[in-house]
Structure 1
Amino acid sequence: MILIIISITLILSLLLIMVHLLTKYNILNSKFTEVQQELEIEKENIENISTEKEEIERIVDEKNFKFLAINQMAKTLAKEKNLNILKRLIMDMMLEVNSIKRGFSLERYGDTLKIFELQNMSEIPNITIHVDDDKEMWEYFKTHKVSKIKQLQNFTKLSDIVKEFDDGYVMSFLITDEIGLEDIYYLIFMGEKTYGNYGDGEMEFFETLGGQIEIILENAIKNNFIEEQNKELTEKVYDLLTLNNAAKMVTSTLDIEEIYKSSIDMYTEVAQAMKGCIMTYDRDSEALYIKAARGEYKQDDINKSLKIKEEFLEVLKKDSNVKIISNLRESEMLTYIFEFLKENQALVKELKSELFIPLVANEEVLGIILLGMRYSDEGYREDNVEVYNTLANQIAISLYNAKLYNLAITDGMTKLFLHRYFQTRLEEELERTKRYKRKLSLIMLDIDHFKKFNDTYGHQTGDEVLKKVAKAIKEYIRKSDVAARYGGEEFSVILPETDEKGSIKVGENLRKAIESLELQYHSKILKVTISLGCYTYNPDEADSEEITKDNIIDRADQALYKSKERGRNKVTHYNNMKLGE
């Protein structure tokens, strides 16, 4: 019994111990589970922290990349001074840096925004945004420097563009003008990404970048404006200097031939023309004559005549402003210019005339200058016309003064110098010859039997003889020689720097030329001859300092009469006459 009780007691004790151990186990297991849960929570927290760290690092890297992109773009763009290239660079870099497939830009022209450039787009609907006609849209872009393309769907004018893109942004760039007002200058429409979608930070990036680009654009515009102002100022200074030089050049001489040459030289230089020619109007023949040319122009055409209508001359008297032919609208002036060029195309076609310059003074058309293309690709500009007009007026006045001077010193019938001018020039040439110890020759010539011509065939025929002889004299002497009508049928030719042998040669050339002349009188062919006397002043002769111009004239005259005594149609030199020849 006792054993049973002891056994039961032991069993109960064991049971109690087992219960206690089980309770302890449950408590420990519960605590272990709690610890496990805490560890899981802690692990999850650590993973979240790691994810957040990676996200923060990604955001930081992205911001660093965008900051570097902004910095690099700003540096690259700031180097470009050409506005058009700069705007294209902005577009190129915006698409490249942001991996954008396509886009286009609008540029401001006056009060309107128009298409400037397309990138990876074959065509888009034509867009123009006007400051007055599209006020709401204009104000929207002024107040929203960055916006999503889809936000523009309420603007009817842009609805087709909105449909064109699945996604994208619009950036507007505002510039402050010279009076301090800020307004739209440039818009960029950017389409879908090449891969992926736009992120949440794109708006901030575009706004930051847009601010940098606005500063660069504004600086470029200001620099461009300053450069343009400097260029205009330089051009004006150059124009003033050129006009001053032109005035000095064309007013420094009354030699009309020199004025022609210096005028076309100066005009082609000022206008930077590749070629051109100057023509003078002759009232007697009612035609223009090419007097000088520059550039790739046939020199054989010098002195050839061009036709011009009397009505056109009247129009030019009323409107003598320089004309840029390509800028002329339909008008009476344009019609006349085209007719003139067409009628004379054989002589002016080669010029490819672009600038038409009337030379008018005191309501008299003195001539015309025609200029061809410029050396630069840029054509003639209207803002240069004022300079062209001023230069044309100076040339016209110089030609007019030279013409008046020539009328004062030239014989109206023969177009040779008058006796008074001859006397002055001989005096000047003699002084120059004595100073520089050079020889000087004079030829006196007389038309043989001229009184008989007048008595037999009439004064009109006599006048024709005088004209033909005078023309032949001009053709057979040098430019430096001076031919004059001494009086009646007697002429004189001053030959600077010409010795005895040279004067005889010139005399013989004149004699033969005039001997070959033929004059039509009704059914008869009339012939004419001349007698010539030469004298050569030699500064090395003993009495050279005592010789005057009257001595020279007298000795040449003696030689002339000797030719007449010898049977006329002869050349006699004073020195040979002294030798008894």
Structure 2
Amino acid sequence: MQIKIGRCYNLEECYEFFKKLEDDSEQLVQIITPESEAVNKKIIEKFNLLLPLSELIGVTAGEGIINSDITEQTIIITAVRFEESSFELIQRDSSSDLNAEIIAQNIQQNTKAVIVLSDNKYTDGDNFVNIFNKYAENIILAGGLAGFATKDGQSYIFDKNGIIKSGSIGIILNGNKLRADWTFSMGWESISREMEITKAEDRVIYELDGRSIFKVYSEFLGENIKNKLPSAAVNKFPLVLSGNFKNARSAMEVVNDGIRFSGNLKEGDKVKIAYGSLNKILRNAVYLRNNLNFFPEIAFVYSCSGRSDYLKSLNSSLSTELQVIPCQNTGFCTSGEYGTITSKAQFLNITTTVLYLSESDELIDRKLDFKTEIPEVKTEHLFHLSKKVISELEMINQKMRKANQSIGDKKISLTAETIFKMLFNDKKYTGGIVIKEAENLTNIYLDDSLGKQGYDIFRTFWNMNISEIKIKNNVLGFKQAFLIPLKKEVEALIIILSDEIDLYDIKKNDLFIQQIPNYLKKSLLYESLERNLASLSTLEQTSDFLYSTLDLELLYERILDIIVGTMGMSAAIIFKKEETELKSVKNINVPKNSELFYYLKGHFKNISLSEKIIIANNIDFKKNIETLIAIPISLNNYQGVLYAIQSKYKQLINENQKKFIRTLANQIRVSIRNALNHNKVKRLSVTDGLTDLYNHSYFHKELKEKDGEEYSVAIMDIDNFKEFNDFYGHQVGDRVLQKLSKLLKNEIREDDIVARYGGEEFVIYFNIVQERLLSKIINRLMRKIRELEINFENKKLKVTVSLGVAINNSTFGVRNH
């Protein structure tokens, strides 16, 4: 193909460019223009006069793209004359649905790609691709919606026949020798939990989870963001749809109490607030060319104007991202982009898309260097977000601790009342809890002020047998009633009546709400055991004993002490799954590598998956084993099993004791969950986010506490690490740090400490000073590092390090090696 690209600043330069072109029916001319409608009509008129055989497609745009450069006051003309291929131009000024259907129906067997340009006022991009997908599969779709002309603010497309303010132009590219590839880059990272659009109309979103969209943005990003909406949302914080492909939708304008978003968002859609990481956008730019298997002759670029604005707001530019394109290119900043992802046409926003074309068989034979910067803006609003996440975790932990302390000795009625009052600290509400306490026994615990009418309505709600949260309006004089079903452990229905609370508040407390069945079950069992056991004080003591610590190691020790001491068991052990390995974390009287040890370890998987407590008498395993208790502990990513064995004397566990064990198991799970949540918050402050190693602050703190002890410290630096980043990209550099960190973590001894000191530097604490032993450990570590390989594009990259060791002992002081 023959290609000519021109940059024109006025009509006369356009005319001169047209004169230089050879008129041909196989020539396609694309014009990107910021000019007024009057000027564009003259361009069309002169084109028809000078190039009557050639085809014309044009579009308005505030910013054009020419060879990765972004221009704002320039007419960009691109002429492509196909030599081995052909094209068909289809112009429609009908509805989005009909335009898509007619364009798709003209696709041929040898069609390689379709370029579509549409107006941005009347064309619904989502409807267009939905209809297109009905008639076309596995076809590359590229293009986008027109931008706004700088000179008069108008937006439209055009061809040889004139201006088209409502419609689409399709270019169907055909040819067996034509090679086409399409790719895209987004770079948006979710920073909020999933929320449901609860009020929306005509792409205007008013509420997320029942709360004003303005309040939601302020909640996640700080009050100071409020006055910047919607521009802040356009540039930095769009909404991304949940699902396999996380499409983004940018805010367009404030409409009364809502924000109009690009693309079709409707009530019931699940979305998250996302953040545009400049670092990630620029790193991901390499995806705009990585998968090419031919050298393109030309690239057509369609990138969102909102993306360009965002990059400019961070003192960067779209041209930085486009530097990776390995050929001459042209395009414009759109109001929405067309693309094809997993064989389906998609309507995209705030995305950069590239269509590569070639009639040549030349393969890619060179790499392009690409460097990115990590700007300070990355933490502009994320600091507020991180504080919010930690504060919410602490809020839930406080509620759980308070609940654990409050319900230890309460009957189910008092527990229901206590838990219900703890749900929302700063909101006015009333209601109650309906609880199925036995097969034919359902009790309703509600605020006394609601009376018999409330009782009858609550009974009606219970009989609805709902499986997900439901909202009822105008109940008992309150604006809304929230019905929250609980199905695990105890079947219950929480009913909240309020003029203030919304769905957002409910979901914010979801972690605590999901724990309520455990508290209710605990009280139900407590009441049952109170009638049958003489020593209920033991249960209270064990609860206080377990919940009074958040130290996981100490908690394991207390759990085994309780299970052995309370139940008269002779041995106990806790197994926990850590990644792919099964480890014993605490053990009383179960010899490691014994027949019993492997017997219990071998049954871990089945017991863990079943999530059922096993209490078995008369075990036919060994003569001196009479009773076995197995308690699975499954908490999200935590999988463990507590075993207890009674072998000292024949005393089988009766039904009352079984009830006690089940209550105790629930306490154990709750206490471990509390400790895990506490450790999660604590670990955030002492670890490095990329490598998951301890950070240098934690290392210094630990070293200071060992003042006066004998120890050694090794300092390690990755050789030529900058070359990994410069030559292969920061993603490979990050992978090197992560791989080496994992190796160090796996290879050091249990009492050693490894930390990322900064950049490519690592530091290791050893509690030994004997040079021979230390040398042996260091040599083994260095050998493992030499064997380390990083896979990248069919290459195996090697890592070398420089290492120094300082020994601190009382005999010689500090010695360096």
Same fold (TM over 0.5): no
Q: What TM-score, normalized to structure 2?
A: 0.28
Q: What TM-score, normalized to structure 1?
A: 0.39
Would you tell me which structure has more strand in proportion to its own residues?
A: 2
Would you tell me which structure has more helix in proportion to its own residues?
A: 1
